[in-house]
Amino acid sequence: MALGRYSRVDGRRSSSTSSTVVFVVFIGLCLVGVWMMTSSSIVPAVQNVDDTKNEVQTQLKEIGATSKSNGISEEETSSESESNTRSDTYSDVESNASSNTNSDNTSGENTSRDVNSNSRGGDENKSQSKNFHEDNPGTLPEDSTEGDNVKVSSNERTISQPEKTSQGSADYNLEQKPAKQSRDQLINLEERPKSGTGYEEDTKEDVVSNTKDQESKVSENQSETDEKNSVDEKSYSKGQGDSEDDLKATTSKSNEEKDKPENSSEPENKDKSKTEDTIQEKSEEISSEKNDLLPSAAQSELLNETMDADVRWKTQAAESKKEAEKSEPARITGSGWKVCNVTAGPDYIPCLDNLQAIRSLRSRGHFQHRERHCPDDPPTCLVSLPENYQRSIQWPTSREKIWYHNVPHTQLAEYKGHQNWVKVSGEYLAFPGGGTQMIRGALTYIDTIQKFVPDIAWGKQSRVALDVGCGVASFGGFLFDRDSLVMSFAPKDEHQAQVQFALERGIPAIVSVMGTKRLPFPGKVFDVVHCARCRVPWHAEGGKLLLELNRVLRPGGYFVWSATPVYEKEPEDVQIWEAMKKLLKAICWEVISIYKDKKNRVGVAVFKKPYSNECYEKRSEEEPPLCKDSDDPNASWNVPLQACMHKIPTGATERGSKWPEQWPARMEKPPYWLLSSQVGIYGKPAPDDFVADYKHWKRVVSTLYVTGMGIDWSTVRNVMDMRAIYGGFAAALREMKVWVMNVVNIDSPDTLPIIYERGLIGMYHDWCESFNTYPRTYDLIHADHLFSYIKTKCNFEALVVEVDRILRPEGKLIVRDTVQIISELETMYKSMQWDVRMTYAKDTEGFLCVQKSMWRPREAITLPYAIADKADIAREMKLKEDLKKIPRGNKRSSKSKSKRKREKAG
């Protein structure tokens, strides 16, 4: 019934008033009874009973009307004055009732607070600015914060607007745009009916009309009070250790049958029906699109995951046959944070700077020292900031220049400055847009490739590319102008901060190396693989490294190689070129184009992977061999490299047997290989699941993230979705000038191929370990029900610290998780001096948006495994000296012995 749906709105505000009414009526009746018994005349006593009843009713009307309104109208004020004149005789009754109420029930304080607050007048309330404050509700009990928090309750959601604290948090003025249905409409929804037709009349009809009805009302109100107390016991609060200045959003549930008055008269029902119609009419325009912004798991199929519903959903852990280490959940300290004292300082990457593990390696010949070596106990200290660090320059200006003090490394500029990579220019590091192979600029280079290979069709046929040995990632940075998305990677090597430069510029990149293990991507996902003078020995060891590219390259995809062996005539280059031609023929890659620019001394060779197994079957020699059928090409987490080729899929419903839809159609359309017979993550047939997920995130992003949270999206460029599922969150941000790193946990359903199929990028990761990126590289991080999962699996506090490490100062973290997790995260990030911008709770589900500050602790803690010893320092110094000896410029000579020795040593 419609009345019951919104009755909780009235019931919540009038619970304390109902308690007062109970005592007023009860005390009044007792006094009247005593007076009647002691009276000498029966007839006057009866007459006085009626008079008493009428005057008590008048006062009850005034109390009820006052408690149910934010402001008191002129009519109500006049009525109250008249009532006080007529009821002086009963002032003692009200005083006694109030005294008894305060001693027995704290809700009496609430009534007093409401009356005093309302006595200031309705005009003051109406003039209040509808601003969204950054600070959130704290630990005050719900009855003590009524009137402070603005709440909207329905079957779908509960949202609270927190009060601004004394900390001086900034306000975010949100425009009220009914067409876009902003968050203000949710916040203001409750205020509208109060000034609407039928609200005051509803109050007047709630008064008892005879002694029998009074007794019934006493019983009914007492029942409602008990019910309210029961609900309040389940309310969401943070605990006793929190500040009273912080107000906490609370959960609420509507109960249609219990909130409906049992003894309501027909006029009363009509007036309440009017109230219901008013509320529903003014909320219909937003309820259809916002009813599932944060639904409970029971109310929304989109949040009710059924991961084990279909065995077809593999996990990366199962595919890679690797079990992640488990440990007891960490104790949440909430205070006592310390800065990590490590040799890498502000550039610390825990799994790549484990110097103790690196020193114990038996060999470095295959770049083992650049691979992941995570500490047994992940760090729980905070990474320091570079001196004079400041907010990153916004995209697209950041593609041309960045602040020098944010990445204060000049070695790459000294070594590669003549090749147009990066130059020091005052307080900036400038990126001319070229490189060793892009002398006339990256865009000219990109367009030249398409000129000689029209089928590559950047931004249509070719949407997702992999850039190997990316340098400062200018190739990927300028392909944005052609609507292509590039995953760039390079090792944390002697050049210093290649990937850090790329990320500071706003270009997708990770720290990785082609060493002894597979890259963290599924098989057959990249449309193009690019390598510009990446110095990778593709032909060595049976072509093991080139065969890794063959694994991740889509059938029919292109390999673009612009390196010295393509155009130089030095003996070593000629030898490499001949070995490459032989290897490329053996793996059936077709030569599409070889372009040489003699004037600029550069060249580009483009090869194409076959669409079928026909060439494999016709080879005279089975070298390299085909991989065993048991070898899963999607398994990549800690899987050793193998010198074999995986067969090309041929079935009509197998992934890789067809090219995806052209961009941007591929983003919205379910992949052809996603079958209806397969159950999706949320329990629907997989294609329907895909569509529902996309619609869900489009609605959430457009109505809450973009317009309802006060985020200046012009400052957001690098975004991470820590638990991506289908990539719906990233797809919903397509119109924004951002890129999203979609992360799929290794023991979650393996949906990463779907993400690539729709033209987005991502990688596998185990969030029990640190991520392969430099500190301060993401502007916004999104975590949908990740923290609650990690808490049952590994070190919860370490993940909280990892988010702090990779998020830029003033960056935002958006978390959707259980109420308990939201409360814990809020406590921990507050202790790091982060600003809480928004909290939200509904049933067991919660929402949190926080902003990282510049604060760093003064006290430090040393991590012995990340401290360099004398041998490490000597090795680093020798490496720098070897770099200085390498010839510069376009004129190349044969590699010196020192260079070959350096490459062999890594």
Which ranges constitute the DSSP H helices of 403-541?
Answer: 411-416, 442-452, 474-479, 498-505
pLDDT-wise least confident of 334-343, 457-466, 642-651, 897-906: 897-906
Lowest mean pLDDT among 343-357, 419-433, 514-528, 549-563: 419-433
Most confident option among 12-21, 609-618, 896-905 = 609-618
CA angle 298, 257, 113 (to 5 degrees): 95
Token digits of residue 349: 């990457």
Residue 416 pLDDT grade (very low, low, confident, very high; cuts 50, 70, 90): low
- 551, 561 Cβ separation under 8 angstroms: no
pLDDT level of residue 665 (50, 70, 90 thresholds): very high
Pairing of strands 423-425, 428-430: antiparallel
Model pLDDT, residue 251: 35
Q: Is the pLDDT of residue 140 over 80?
A: no
Which alpha helices (H) appear in 260-350, and where do they start and end? 266-290, 316-320
Nearest to 471 by CA among 431, 421, 408: 421
- In a 13 Å sphere around the CA of 490, the CA atoms on its Cβ side amount to 28
Give the per-residue pLDDT at 52.
44
Q: Which residues contact 71 (CB under 8 A, 6 or more apart)?
A: 118, 121, 122, 123, 124, 125, 126, 194
DSSP β-bridge partners for residue 401: 430
Per-residue pLDDT, 414: 73
Residue type at position 839: T
Query: Within its chain, how far is the Cα of 522 from the centroid?
Result: 23
Q: What is the dihedral of CA 136, 139, 143, 144, to 10 degrees?
A: -80
Strand runs (DSSP E) across 295-364, as ranges? 339-341
Q: Which of residues 130 and 530 earns the better pLDDT score?
A: 530
- Could you give the angle at the alpha carbon of 416 between the alpha carbons of 414 and 419, nearest 5°? 130
pLDDT at 133: 33
Nearest to 674 by CA among 662, 691, 696: 691
Structure tokens at 1: 């019934």
| Separation between Cα atoms, residue 470 and residue 530, nearest integer Å | 9
Separation between Cα atoms, residue 63 and residue 101, nearest integer Å: 15
Most confident of 41-50, 78-87, 825-834: 825-834
Question: Which of 587-604 are b and which e, b meaning 16 or more Cβ less than 10 Å from the residue's Cβ?
Answer: bbbeebbebebeeeebbb
Please compute, for residue 410, the number of CA atoms within 13 A of its CA located in the half-sphere on the CB side. 8
- Choice between 278 and 775, residue whose per-residue pLDDT is larger: 775
Q: Any idea which of 247-261, 431-445, 592-606 has the lowest mean pLDDT?
A: 247-261
Tell me how far apart the alpha carbons of residues 405 and 839 are, in angstroms, rounded to a whole number.
Answer: 34
pLDDT band at 317; cut points 50, 70, 90? confident
Yes or no: say if 779 and 505 are a contact pair by the CB < 8 Å rule. Answer: no
466 has a pLDDT exceeding 60? yes
What is residue 535's predicted lDDT score, i.e. its pLDDT? 81
- Which residue's structure tokens are 């202790």? 831
470 or 757: which leads in pLDDT: 757
DSSP percent split of the chain into helix, strand, coil, nearest 5: 40, 15, 45
Give the CA distances from residue 843 to residues 15, 188, 662, 817, in Å, rounded to whole numbers and listed in that order.
Answer: 21, 21, 42, 11
Measure the CA–CA gap between 359 and 711, rounded to whole angstroms: 45
Rounded to a whole number of angstroms, the CA Rg of the chain reads 34
End-to-end Cα, the chain, rounded Å: 73
pLDDT tens for each residue of 289-314: 444 555 433 333 344 554 444 445 67
The residue assigned the tokens 């009137």 is: 147
Number of other residues whose CB lies within 10 A of the CB of residue 8: 23
Picking from 378-392, 714-728, 862-876, 892-906, which range would have the lowest pLDDT averaged per residue? Answer: 892-906
Query: What is the tens place of the pLDDT at every residue in 202-226?
Result: 333 343 344 444 444 444 444 444 4
Quote the strand ranges of 470-627, DSSP E. 485-490, 509-511, 526-532, 553-562, 590-597, 602-608
Could you give the CA distance from residue 250 to residue 149 in angstroms, rounded to a whole number?
10
The pLDDT tens digits for 779-789 are: 999 999 999 99
* pLDDT at residue 675 greater than cutoff 60: yes
Residue 380 has pLDDT above 80, yes or no: yes
pLDDT, tens digit, for every residue of 502-537? 999 999 999 999 999 999 999 999 999 999 988 889
Strands 778-784 and 807-818 come out as parallel
CB–CB of 433/478 below 8 Å?
yes
Q: How far apart (Å, rounded) are the C-alpha atoms in residues 250 and 151?
A: 9
Give the residue-averaged pLDDT of 329-348.
Answer: 77
Given this model, what pLDDT does residue 708 score?
84
With the C-alpha atoms ordered 564, 568, 573, 575, is the resulting torsion angle positive or negative? positive
Mean pLDDT value of segment 552-557: 98
CB-based contact 633:642 (threshold 8 Å): no
Angle at 664 between CA 486 and CA 393, to 5 degrees: 45
Task: For residue 122, name the pLDDT band (cuts at 50, 70, 90).
Answer: very low
| Closest of 534, 532, 579, 525 to residue 556, by C-alpha | 525
For the segment 343-362, what is each residue's pLDDT rounded down to a tens digit?
A: 999 999 999 999 999 999 99
Among the ranges given (251-255, 316-320, 811-815), the one the predictor scored with the smallest mean pLDDT: 251-255
The dihedrals phi and psi of 660, each to the nearest 5 degrees, come to -65, 170
**Taking residues 111-119, what's their average pLDDT?**
40
Cα–Cα distances in Å, from 794 out to 378, 517, 768, 790? Answer: 10, 24, 6, 6
Would the pLDDT of 191 be above 60? no
Average pLDDT over residues 649-660: 94
**Tens digits of per-residue pLDDT, 758-782?**
999 999 999 999 999 999 999 999 9
Determine the pLDDT at residue 246.
39
Q: Is the peptide bond before 624 cis (omega within 30 degrees of 0)?
A: yes
- Angstrom distance (rounded) from CA 834 to CA 829: 5
pLDDT digits (tens, 9 = 90+) for 724-751: 999 999 999 999 999 999 999 999 999 9
Residue 653, CB-side half-sphere exposure with 13 Å CA sphere: 5
More confident residue, 228 or 723: 723
> Which one-letter amino acid corresponds to residue 568?
E
Residue 417 is predicted with a pLDDT of: 58
Contact criterion met (CB below 8 Å) for 498 and 356: no
Mean pLDDT of 849-872: 95
User: In the prediction, which pLDDT does 422 show?
Assistant: 86
Does the pLDDT at position 259 exceed 70?
Answer: no
- What average pLDDT does the chain have? 73
The three-class DSSP label of residue 592 is strand
pLDDT at site 145:
34
Q: How many CB atoms lie within 10 A of CB 832?
A: 19
The amino acid at 9: V
- pLDDT for the residue numbered 735: 93
Q: Cβ neighbours of residue 690 under 8 Å, at least 6 residues apart?
A: 670, 674, 680, 726, 754
Structure tokens at 127: 């003039």
Burial of 421 (0-12, 13-18, 19+ CB in 10 A): buried
Q: What is the pLDDT of residue 526?
A: 98
- Res. 464 pLDDT band, cuts 50 70 90: very high
